[in-house]
Amino acid sequence: MIDDQHPNAAFFEMIEKIERNFYADFDPFYFWIMADRVHTASPAKLQVHDENREVISDHPLNDRLERAIANYDKYASYTVRALRYFSSETLMLLLLSAPKSNPFPRTASVLRGDRLLEPIRSIASGNVPDSFSLSRKGVPIGFNEWVSFKLFSNVDLLSTEQGSGEIIDLVREEAELLSERGAINAYKHGKPVSYGEGIRLQMKGEDGEYVPVSLPLLGLNWIDWYEKPAEHLSIAFGTEELDPESDKKRIFATSLLMDSICQVRLAYLDGKQLDDIQVPINIEIGNKVKRQKFKFNLDAKKDER
């Protein structure tokens, strides 16, 4: 309850209204609907016309447009993966927020870069992130209890409900997905990417024959370029395997968790208690995203003569 005599009472009341409206209006199934639509859609047919609206069948742009249309399935597969990233990142931000004391709009605005990546990596390793710990009767609660409270405002719910271990594993697996940003950054920022088999390393044996030291991986390929300090250069080649059907299932599972968070917090902000909490069960676990990344250090020191 806000003290009407507090000098900033009107401001705090406005913040509570903003937060309540967010939980009332936010649709956690948005990511799943978009992923399913993108995956099942067909690309538009494009034509090049002259100033008289006549089709130019031999225009050089046609070949490039046809290439884009032919690659639609590959592009759609990674767009589904990108939507999984966005859905899972939203779930992490919800876990790191708290109604009234740390509103979601604030959390989503101030947790950027390493400030977000560090707590996500803690969650991936099964640890309560620093600065986000909670206590019960003066004793810090463990990771499973922390997740249970953040999801359902009940420290003990996941210790009694069927499928609780699956939910903990899901949260950790999605945090692990978000811990490597190379592929999603390549997708977002147009860095050099291709779709297909990633690089394979071979080592020459004593008999002169080359022996594979890595298995081929099909998916989105990207390049990371490092210059720290500027006179030293490293280049990394990464590949992230794609599985849109698995991604859509995982997006739906995270959507269910976000829906539960929204319903519980909306009830709390309205001064009520949600008695019937929906806990997802039968979640597919163990479908971790497969990646490979090879980094090569190149001596790029300037000539000191």
Q: Where are the domains positioned within the chain?
A: 9-42+68-298
DSSP bridge partners of 102: 98
What's the DSSP call for residue 29? T
**Mean pLDDT within 52-58:** 84
Quote the tokens at residue 295: 């980094």
Q: How far is it, in rounded angstroms, from Cα 168 to Cα 242? A: 23
Q: How far is it, in rounded angstroms, from Cα 91 to Cα 125? A: 16
**Mean pLDDT within 79-104:** 94
Helix (H, G, I), strand (E, B) or coil at 35: helix
Taking CA atoms, 270 is separated from 16, 74, 264, 267, 273, in Å, by 10, 45, 10, 5, 9
Q: What is the pTM of this model?
A: 0.86
pLDDT on residue 50 = 79
Helix (H, G, I), strand (E, B) or coil at 238: strand
At 9-31, the pLDDT tens digits run 777 788 888 889 999 999 999 99
Q: How far is it, in rounded angstroms, from Cα 292 to Cα 239? A: 5
Taking CA atoms, 251 is separated from 255, 258, 296, in Å, by 6, 10, 34
Give me the chain's average pLDDT, please: 86
* Least-confidence region, from 47-51, 208-212, 228-232: 228-232
- Is 113's pLDDT higher than 80? yes
**Mean pLDDT within 278-304:** 75
Q: How far is it, in rounded angstroms, from Cα 199 to Cα 281? A: 38
DSSP bridge partners of 234: 226, 297
DSSP H/E element including 303: none
Q: How far is it, in rounded angstroms, from Cα 88 to Cα 93? A: 9
Q: How far is it, in rounded angstroms, from Cα 187 to Cα 282? A: 31
Tell me the HSE value of 284 on the side-chain side, using a 13 A CA sphere: 10
**Mean pLDDT within 211-227:** 86
> Cβ neighbours of residue 230 under 8 Å, at least 6 residues apart?
none
pLDDT on residue 1 = 45
Q: How far is it, in rounded angstroms, from Cα 305 to Cα 299? A: 16
Q: How far is it, in rounded angstroms, from Cα 283 to Cα 170? A: 8
**Mean pLDDT within 34-48:** 88
**Confidence grade of residue 163 (pLDDT, cut at 50, 70, 90):** low
What is the b/e burial string over 6-18, where b = at least 16 CB atoms within 10 angstroms of the residue's CB? eeeeeeeeebeee
Helices (H), the chain: 9-25, 30-40, 61-70, 72-96, 104-110, 114-124, 143-152, 157-160, 164-179, 182-189, 244-269
CB atoms < 10 A from the CB of 277, how many? 15
Q: How far is it, in rounded angstroms, from Cα 257 to Cα 278? A: 9
